[in-house]
């Protein structure tokens, strides 16, 4: 008996019991689809987080007060004082670090912003004009505040798209006056929309000169974060070392601050999402395994049920290998067809899941091939045992089987 | 040949033989109880013979036929087919013998319920590697020979017991084997249908095929050339009929059976 004949026989016996074949396949379909979807969700999350971190800007070093032992953990400043860095440190980095191009400080605080009779909760981000190039932000209309505004602590602000929508109901805000606490700020520009970037949502914030915030709004001389941009990727390490030594000299110790680069943050975030992906895939694999056991169960039942058929086929001249092939092909066809349908369902499902989550759909080749190969292996593995059991039967014994 | 052959009588004659069994014993073990179904059977059946095996229920006829058909092994004793010991054959050789040299008709027809009559008859040809179209052609001829030309697409459940029996017979002769072994092929048939079946076996036998069949019916046994009687797992009588009954048959039957030979020959040439 050749392979074509074997496939024909297998198909005829699969279609002769459609209900049972369908249910068996369903187990494989659900298992494979679950793995595909779970892995796609994990990878989608990973892409999402990575792109957020990359949107921070390029070749970025981030200086923060305090110490941290786990880069990427959100416990900055948990060890040590927050009041360490000032505009002097910003200037020191600018002067003493040749590998650093642009430098910008940042203080970010949640505040109530009022316009006329309406008010919203949003972030006030205090910085300098260099912030735009360091963070790769753009201004959509009007202009960003200037060096001059910083020097004079001008009462001006640039607003994000989200603020316009909520506070001005979409109307043109340029020239209007906002109130933060008792301070009146004139709107001079609107930020280009960029969405989530790092830990801040660009759209949901207003931007003011750092001096304005320090003197008029917050009453502090410290800054919370310093963003320093290296000239290029190659000078990142040099820039890092220069910043550390410049600040250590000024602050007397390397314990009062720490410097992280984008790659650290990215790596840490990717570690987290990788674990997340593995966890999801692990859970989904259990259902694939259960599907595989379903195939084996059905094959065992099918062999037992068809013991007489096996006896008859042997009596009519089937060799043991012919019987083995027949059942093997049957279980492989079941699990492969199930696997392919599972992949289709899974791909569609992950696209839907990605849309719901607002993430990029990430159906990778590996996430598709792996469960497919697994389902094939399941078919082979769980098909061989019952098939060889059937193939070894003595025809008379098999025929007498009730 | 006389009745009650001794243990050594099977190996006396010298002409070419098809089947030769010597002191066959078959013991079934059910729990701690041993049942001896065959207790030393020696028999020789030559090419072209037509043997009817008779005997009371439980005397070991089916057990004996299963061994002749290479479907079961004896506990003791030897069985050689054309002077080759069956016990020495491996799985592939056994499969080949069952497929090409022996046509077996089971006491309980053993048709596959989900296949139609034609597909059931085609089954042995699949394992012979015959291409699909030739298979169908041969199956139709075989079914025509047993008078079921108009039932090709009926499932076994849509056929009467007698018709199922005929499908099983068609399946045994579709490969044009050297030997046809039939275990009570007329057990479920009325006298008229039984005679029709005997006509087929006589035609097969006339075309040179060795036929061994089991029957409880003394009238049916009269269509054979020789009658072997079993009792309690032993052969108790072995007689050659001087005047056997001939079943009336249409000449077309011989043509159909010859067609199977030709078709098979064509096929063997092609393959
Ligand atoms: N698988 C088995 N296990 C145990 N005993 C068996 C088995 N098969 C047959 N026997 C016993 O062997 C003896 C012979 O059985 P066998 O089927 O050969 O009889 P038979 O001559 O064909 O009878 P019948 O005319 O009723 O078909 C019986 O006593 C039966 O009980
Ligand atoms: Mg019997």
Ligand 1 centre and the CA of B60: distance in Å?
Answer: 6
Is the pTM value of this prediction over 0.80? no
Both tokens of B175, joined, read: 């490969």
Q: Assess whether the C-beta atom of B126 lies below 6 angstroms from ligand 1.
A: no
- Which residues have a Cβ under 8 Å from the Cβ of B262 and sit 6 or more positions away? none
The tokens for A324 are 């083995």
**Calpha distance B95→A313 (Å, rounded):** 10
The yes/no answer to whether this complex scores an ipTM above 0.85 is yes
- Residue B63 Cα to ligand 1 middle (Å): 6
- pLDDT band at residue A197 using 50, 70 and 90 as cut-offs: low
Please report the pLDDT score of residue B267 as a whole number: 56
Which positions in chain B touch A309 (Cβ < 8 Å)?
112
pLDDT value, residue A145: 92
Cβ–ligand 1 contact at B57 (below 6 Å): yes
Contact A317 B98 (CB under 8 A): yes
Report CB contact under 8 Å: B91, A320.
yes
pLDDT of amino acid B268: 53
Residue-averaged pLDDT of chain A: 83
Listing DSSP states for A82-145 in one string gives S---BHHHHHHHHHH-TTEEEEEEEEEEEEEEEETTEEEEEEEEEE-TTHHHHTT--EEEE---
Q: What is the pLDDT of residue A73?
A: 45
DSSP letter, residue A155: -
pLDDT value of position A72: 45
**Mutate: best of B75, B126, B134, B169, partner A, most A CBs <10 A:** B126
Q: What is the pLDDT of residue B41?
A: 95
With a 6 Å cutoff on the Cβ, whether B215 touches ligand 1 is no
Q: Span A351-368, mean pLDDT?
A: 77
Q: Which atom belonging to ligand 1 lies closest to the Cα atom of B35?
A: 5
Dist CA A179 CA A184 (whole Å): 5
Q: Tell me which residue has its CA closest to atom 3 in ligand 1.
A: B28
From the CA of B53, the nearest ligand is: 1
Domains, chain B, ranges and CATH? Answer: 47-74+90-270 (3.40.50.300)
pLDDT at B218: 92
Whether the pLDDT of residue A96 is over 50: the answer is: yes
Which ligand approaches the C-alpha of residue B61 most closely?
A: 1
Output the pLDDT for position A368: 78
% pLDDT > 70, chain A:
93
With an 8 Å Cβ cutoff, are B127 and A396 in contact? no
Give residue-wise pLDDT tens across range A219-238: 888 888 899 988 887 888 88
Residue B155 alpha carbon to ligand 2 centre in Å: 25
B63 lines ligand 1 (CB under 6 A): yes
Which residue from B25, B26, B28, B66 has its CB within 8 A of the most atoms of ligand 1, so it is best to mutate?
B28
- DSSP for A346-379, written as a single string: HHHHHHHHHHHHT------HHHHHHHHHHHHHHH
Reference A71, options A259, A274, A253, A273; nearest CA is A259
**A309 has a chain B CB within 8 A of its CB:** yes
pLDDT given at position B203? 93
| Contact (CB<8Å) A316/B71 | no
Any ligand 1 atom below 6 A from CB of B127: no
CA distance B180 to B169: 9
**Alpha carbon separation from B174 to B66, B134, B208 (Å, rounded):** 20, 11, 15
**Which of A283, A291, A355, A244 is closest to A32 using CA atoms?**
A291
A2/B contact by beta carbon, under 8 A? yes
pLDDT at residue B85, rounded to an integer: 93
Low-confidence ranges of chain B (pLDDT < 50): 1-15, 271
């Amino acid at each position: 008996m050749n392979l074509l004949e074997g496939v024909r026989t297998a198909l005829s016996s699969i279609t002769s019991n459609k209900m049972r074949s369908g249910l068996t396949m369903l187990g494989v379909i659900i298992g494979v689809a679950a793995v595909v979807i779970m892995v796609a969700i994990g990878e989608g999350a990973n892409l999402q987080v990575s792109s957020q971190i990359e949107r921070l800007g390029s070749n970025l070093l981030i200086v923060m007060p305090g110490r941290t032992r786990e880069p990427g953990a959100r416990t900055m400043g948990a060890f040590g004082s927050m009041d360490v860095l000032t505009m002097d440190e910003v200037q020191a980095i600018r002067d003493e670090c040749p590998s650093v191009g642009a430098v910008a400080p940042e203080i970010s605080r949640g505040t109530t912003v009022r316009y006329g009779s309406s008010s919203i909760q949003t972030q006030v981000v205090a910085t300098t004009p260099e912030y735009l190039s360091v963070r790769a932000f753009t201004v959509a209309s009007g202009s960003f505040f200037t060096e001059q505004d910083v020097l004079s602590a001008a009462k001006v602000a640039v607003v994000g798209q989200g603020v316009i929508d909520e506070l001005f109901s979409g109307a043109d805000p340029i020239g209007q006056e906002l109130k933060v606490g008792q301070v009146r700020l004139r709107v001079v520009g609107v930020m280009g929309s960029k969405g989530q970037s790092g830990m801040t949502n660009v759209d949901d914030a207003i931007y003011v000169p750092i001096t304005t915030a320090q003197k008029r709004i917050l009453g502090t001389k410290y800054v919370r974060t310093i963003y320093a941009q290296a000239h290029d990727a190659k000078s990142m390490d040099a820039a890092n070392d220069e910043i550390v030594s410049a600040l250590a000299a000024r602050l007397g110790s390397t314990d009062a601050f720490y410097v992280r680069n984008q790659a650290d943050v990215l790596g840490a975030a990717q570690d987290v999402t990788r674990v997340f992906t593995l966890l999801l895939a692990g859970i989904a694999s259990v259902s694939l395994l259960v599907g595989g056991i379903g195939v084996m169960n059905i094959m065992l039942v099918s062999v037992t049920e068809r013991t007489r058929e096996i006896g008859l086929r042997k009596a009519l001249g089937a060799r043991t290998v012919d019987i083995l092939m027949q059942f093997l092909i049957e279980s492989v066809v079941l699990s492969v067809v199930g696997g392919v349908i599972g992949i289709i369902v899974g791909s569609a499902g992950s696209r839907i899941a990605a849309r719901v989550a607002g993430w990029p759909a990430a159906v990778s080749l590996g996430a598709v091939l792996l469960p497919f190969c697994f389902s094939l292996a399941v078919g082979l593995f769980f098909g061989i045992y019952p098939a060889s059991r059937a193939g070894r039967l003595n025809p008379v014994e098999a025929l007498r089987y009730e | 040949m006389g009745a009650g052959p001794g243990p050594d009588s099977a190996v006396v004659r010298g002409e070419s033989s098809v089947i030769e069994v010597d002191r066959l014993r078959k013991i079934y073990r059910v729990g701690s109880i041993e049942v001896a179904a065959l207790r030393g059977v020696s028999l020789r059946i030559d090419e072209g013979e037509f043997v009817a095996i008779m005997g009371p229920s439980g005397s070991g006829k089916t057990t004996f036929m299963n061994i002749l058909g290479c479907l079961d092994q004896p506990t003791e004793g030897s069985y050689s087919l054309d002077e080759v010991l069956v016990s020495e054959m491996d799985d592939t050789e056994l499969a080949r013998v069952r497929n090409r040299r022996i046509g077996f008709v089971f006491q309980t027809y053993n048709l596959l319920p989900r296949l139609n009559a034609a597909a059931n008859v085609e089954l042995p040809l699949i394992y012979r590697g015959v291409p699909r179209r030739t298979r169908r052609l041969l199956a139709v001829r075989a079914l025509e020979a047993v008078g079921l030309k108009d039932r090709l697409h009926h499932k076994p459940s849509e056929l009467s017991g007698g018709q199922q029996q005929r499908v099983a017979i068609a399946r045994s002769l579709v490969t044009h084997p050297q030997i046809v072994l039939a275990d009570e092929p007329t057990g479920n048939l009325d006298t008229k249908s039984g005679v029709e079946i005997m006509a087929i076996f006589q035609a097969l036998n006339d075309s040179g095929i060795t036929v061994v069949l089991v029957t409880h019916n003394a009238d049916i046994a009269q269509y054979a050339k020789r009658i072997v009687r079993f009792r309690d797992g032993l052969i108790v009588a072995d007689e050659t009929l001087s005047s056997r009954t001939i079943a009336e048959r249409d000449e077309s039957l011989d043509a159909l059976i010859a067609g199977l030979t030709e078709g098979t020959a064509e096929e063997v040439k092609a393959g």
